[in-house]
Amino acid sequence: MEAPPNALNRDSPTVRAVKDITFGSIAGMVSKVFEHPFDLTKVRLQSQVLDSSARFSGPLDCLKKTWHNEGIRGLYRGLPAPIVGAMAENASLFLVYGELQNVILRVSGRPLSEDPTMPQLALAAAGAGMFTSFLLTPIELVKCKMQVQMLVTPTSAAAELPGPISVLVSVIRSSGLRGLWRGHTGTLIRETGGTAAWFSTKEFVARLLIARRQRKHDGSLPSPSGPVQLHPWESAVSGACAGASFNLALFPADTVKSAMQTEEELRPTKAGAEGKPIPKATFFGTAKEMYRAQGIRGLYAGCGITVARSIPSSAIIFLIYDGLSKRFA
């Protein structure tokens, strides 16, 4: 089997942590540059569920109109925030995931040289996702707000749109630090369950591929006595399967989160008139409202393009992370 992160590793805990943070950051940054136009499309489709009339008929229409009205700059609107977010997300995910595996093995009384079981991997992944959600929510709030700016701003005024720092400061001024975690319930649900599915699927498929390779090589089942490195294509295939499972697991939670985080930009009259207190939309209240508006279809707005882009994006992440881990082992 492929050795779990930090298992059978002679590096000190500090060196392991630096590697996880560095490799995860690089993998996340590269994948985010590739997928950002598709993420922007997803957010815009999710954000229009509660609108009285839809701006876009589907993902291709959204991509086409964004390119026509805003150009390449529009497709990458809000990129700095998700770049930072991807680096923070993947660095913390891989770091916490590896450390939690060691904790779980110690608690269960098993030696660190053994592979964790699939339930143990899922538990470690869920814990990593839960931790990471607290880092991601403010970053995604800024990203989502920037991605819908042009929907309510004339093209001629695009140059005057606030950047990520200005958006961040504006949120703090209007809602305080607590406002940065608007929609956190959705991020928490998505990251906890989605990350459990992400890492578990990657490991499950990787083990199947390793077993297949070893049976083909010597006609026998793989020996559990030592680690076996994944080939690059095996990292990519298992990562691609993981990407699809992450987004299919709890996609409606992400849809509700996006709607909450863009409410003030797209539905200002609903959010509250000037001089009146702005009602605080709850996660489950928004979910019910979205379900009443468009049913299950509304809760899965943008799911198709999200899954389509997550397959190559996740393949890139694990291809880079596994490759760097192997290169600098």
Q: What is the pLDDT of residue 219?
A: 56
Domains present along the chain, CATH in parentheses: 13-327 (1.50.40.10)
For the range 103-109, what are the long-range contacts, defined as Cβ-Cβ under 8 Å and sequence gap of 24 or more? 105/7
The rounded distance, in Å, linking the Cα atoms of 62 and 74 is: 11
Q: What is the pLDDT of residue 159?
A: 59
| CA dihedral sign, ordered 237, 243, 245, 248 | negative
Put simply, whether the predicted model's pTM sits higher than 0.85 gets the answer no
Q: At what angle do helices 80-108 and 184-218 cross, to 10 degrees?
A: 60
133, 191 contact by CB (below 8 A): yes
Spell out the per-residue pLDDT of the chain, length 329, in tens: 444 444 445 567 788 888 888 998 999 889 888 888 888 899 899 888 888 777 888 889 999 998 988 888 888 877 887 788 888 888 899 999 999 999 999 999 888 778 899 999 999 999 999 999 999 999 999 989 988 887 776 655 555 777 888 999 999 998 899 999 999 999 999 999 999 999 999 999 999 999 888 887 765 555 544 456 889 999 999 999 999 999 988 999 999 999 999 988 887 765 555 555 555 789 999 999 999 999 999 999 989 989 988 999 999 999 999 999 888 87
106, 113 contact by CB (below 8 A): no
The DSSP-derived string for 79-143 is: -HHHHHHHHHHHHHHHHHHHHHHHHHHHHHT--TTSPPPHHHHHHHHHHHHHHHHHHHHHHHHHH
Task: Kindly tell me the burial class for residue 271, based on how many C-beta atoms sit within 10 Å of its own C-beta (0-12, 13-18, 19 or more).
Answer: middle
Q: What is the pLDDT of residue 198?
A: 96
The rounded distance, in Å, linking the Cα atoms of 219 and 102 is: 33
Which helix (H) or strand (E) segment holds residue 37: the answer is helix 13-47
| CA dihedral sign, ordered 62, 67, 69, 71 | positive
